[in-house]
Amino acid sequence: MTKRERIVATLAERPVDRPALAFWRHVPECDHDPVRLAEAMLAFHRRFDLDLVKVMSSGVYCVEDWGCRVAYTGSPNGAKRCTEHAVKTAGDWERIRPLDPGRGALGRELEAVRLIVRGRADDAPVLHTVFSPLTIARKLAGDRLRDDLSAAPAAVRPALDAIRETATRHALAALDAGADGLFFATQTATPEACTADEYATWEAPWMARMLEALKARSSFTLLHVHGRDIYFDAVAGLPAHALNWHDRRTKPSLAEAKARRRGAVVGGLAEWGTLRDGPRDAIVAEVRDAIRQTDGAGLIVAPGCVLPLDLPDAHLDVVVAAVRGAA
């Protein structure tokens, strides 16, 4: 099977020649330069011969054009963060208006997508990374977001509409630029970020509208749910082809998820545990367990989130060999 054929069959939960495989790593030294970012993504893809290309944007590109200052401050996962938030007071939400999805930092990311698609030497699907509206709002405001949701909801609501409109149009522009699909991330479907009621009120409606607007255009939407004790049943019905979460450190397991939701699952590798620390036999056992849990159907073997920067490439080679050995 080609990579695209393998992914298409996986998403449909049909038999495959071997499980699909993906992992992704930030490149903070070059992710603000579309040429260097594209080169890094293509080199990483060639190095491990993966079944998809997840574009590793910085993670805060989505808020730069609203005025957030961002930098890499040494996070071990390589992610940049906001060093100065655009929303410092409740009144600042009024300044969050719809943006041109092809200019500024947003345009920079579209250029990276074009270069990656142009430079790809196989048919592996390219997924551009986008974020849910409340996740973007949290990046804009930081910890004060929850206070404003309670104390100034009338200020936050139109800002969320502007964020959703901008993020949706940017995602569609990425598909126009050649991306096959989207890595759609929420970092707020967890009690680490908001209560279940806050999620139902402020995340679920805006996220559902965004995903519905993208459904007809994206051939592969991979929904990533970040954090512990995720609101799995709340996200399970959203229109996405596959679901990724930290299955090795929080419930549900891959097997439990397959029993509760139709569609592909993406995971099986503990990026901050076994995959990072080894030993080799434990990594192989983790791959085999993921395949066992799913009977090898509807599975993309992958980490629960981004790889640590210091995770040895040799450990990734072990995963590649184990997956290919499962053919």
* Domains of the chain and CATH, by start: 3-325 (3.20.20.210)
Q: Within the chain, where are the H helices?
A: 3-11, 34-48, 61-64, 104-119, 133-141, 144-151, 153-176, 196-198, 204-215, 232-236, 254-260, 274-277, 280-294, 313-325
85-117 per-residue burial string, b: 16 or more CB within 10 A, e: under 16? bbbeebebbeebeebebbeebbbbbbbbbbbbb
Selection from 214, 204, 137, 150 nearest residue 176 by Cα: 214
Q: What is the pTM of this model?
A: 0.97
Given a contact cutoff of 8 angstroms between Cβ atoms, the answer to whether 289 and 319 are in contact is no
Given a contact cutoff of 8 angstroms between Cβ atoms, the answer to whether 126 and 116 are in contact is yes
Q: Tell me the pLDDT tens digit for each residue of 67-81.
A: 999 999 999 999 999
Given a contact cutoff of 8 angstroms between Cβ atoms, the answer to whether 209 and 144 are in contact is no
Q: Tell me the pLDDT tens digit for each residue of 102-149.
A: 999 999 999 999 999 999 999 999 999 999 999 999 999 999 999 999
Q: Tell me the pLDDT tens digit for each residue of 184-231.
A: 999 999 999 999 999 999 999 999 999 999 999 999 999 999 999 999
Asked if the peptide bond before residue 252 counts as cis, ω within 30 degrees of 0, the response is yes
